[in-house]
A and B are shown apart, each in its own frame.
Chain A
Amino acid sequence: MATDRNHRSDPLDEWADRDYPVAEDMAFQRLSWIIERSGWAVMVVLVIAALAGAFSSGFISGATTSDPSGALTVEYERFHRTGASDVMQITAAPLSGDGILLHLDAGFLRRFTIESVTPEPREWRGDEDGAAMVFPAPEGRSLTVHLALRPERAGRATSRIMLGRPADHGPAVELAMFVYP
């Protein structure tokens, strides 16, 4: 018995199929181990990607974009998740002395529910391309608006945020975002 216990069997024999007491398919078994190990690797990659922010909130996801003139800057998340709140920050300098009008296109409004806007706009104005928030002229040189957003639908979302009415072709930024289900 002692010899049996110390016996180190050769791998070739271990990988051979047995029929009794159970019928084995060791080729399949080894394949499923390979799949299992690859699955672990995929899971590790997913966890690292999540830490890096590939699924929202992280350095891959956070982005800042400005229009060429620098009058409009938007800080946003590239990745969102359906139903999970997110924030977006828009900084705008007034074009003329009077108030600031920030226009959000229809694509944006279809994809996101705006839960709150701080500071509150004086009024909302709708048009065929979307809706605009109207703010009184800021105290300082520019106005920073925080939007609390809730993505409603999964998929690619491209939006355009514009300073001034669409007809005026003012400074605008294009946002390319993705909403996970």
Chain B
Amino acid sequence: MDAVLRAAAIYFFLLILFRLAGRRTFAEMTSFDFVLLLVIGEATQQALLGDDFSITNAFIVIVALVVIDIVFSLAQSRVPGLGKFFNGEPMIVVEHGRPLLQRLKRARISVDDVLGAARETRGLEHIGQIKFAVLEPNGSISIIPEDEWR
């Protein structure tokens, strides 16, 4: 019983924490972000296993985590608002070459981040070539170029 409750507590704690941290926090991982994630995993491990290092406990914890994840994804597809609430929605941050500055500011992205994504994904040079830039729920920025730059 204990192992399942531990798994559930950690699952929902991390879910809420990462939602609150915002989608940009770990979107484009620098090597430091990667190390930070490893350290978070390290800190989680103890609480997840307690002082029970048996294979049975590991099995229970892993199965419980996977089951919670499956149930949660099923619930998200059944209840429309749930997925929106926990994953967020895509949001337009540049339209027809015009940055939507209030949105960028609240989402903690700079115009340079958008231009970086435009260079990386579409090889674009300036903001006028961007028809739409969309901040996706996973934190990445997708770029739709103006028709003449496709």
Point out residues on A near B: beta carbons under 8 Å.
1, 4-5, 7-9, 11, 14-15, 18, 21-22, 24-26, 28-30, 32-33, 35-36, 39-40, 43, 83, 181
Contacts and interface: CB of A to CB of B under 8 A. Distances in A.
A4 B131 CA distance: 12
Nearest to B84: A28
A8 to B, nearest CB: 7
Contacts of B19: 36, 39
A4 B128 contact: yes
A17 to B, nearest CB: 10
B119 interface: no
Contacts of A8: 101
B102 A4 contact: no
Contacts of A5: 97-98, 127-128
Given A4-B96, A14-B100, A29-B91, A83 B20 contact: no
Contacts of A1: 97, 128
A43 B92 contact: no
Main secondary structure of the interface of B (DSSP, over half): mixed
B43 to A, nearest CB: 13
Contact of B89 (A4, A29, A35): A29
B144 A21 contact: yes
A178 B94 CA distance: 52
B50 interface: yes
Contacts of B96: 4
In the A-B complex, list the 4 residue pairs whose CB atoms are closest, starting with the nearest.
Answer: A39-B20, A1-B128, A22-B90, A14-B102
Interface residues of B, number: 29
B134 interface: yes
B50 A83 contact: yes
Interface in B38-95: 50-51, 84-85, 88-92, 95
Interface in B3-23: 9, 16, 19-20, 22
6 contacts: A11-B102, A14-B102, A21-B144, A25-B89, A33-B106, A39-B16
- Among B89, B90, B97, B127, the one with the most A-chain Cβ atoms within 10 Å of its Cβ is B89
Main secondary structure of the interface of A (DSSP, over half): helix
Contacts of A15: 102
Nearest to A35: B20
A4 B98 CA distance: 6
B132 A21 contact: yes
A32 B90 CA distance: 13
A24 B91 contact: yes
Contacts of A33: 106-107
B22 A36 contact: yes
Contacts of A30: 106
Contacts of B16: 39
Nearest to B9: A181
A56 to B, nearest CB: 15
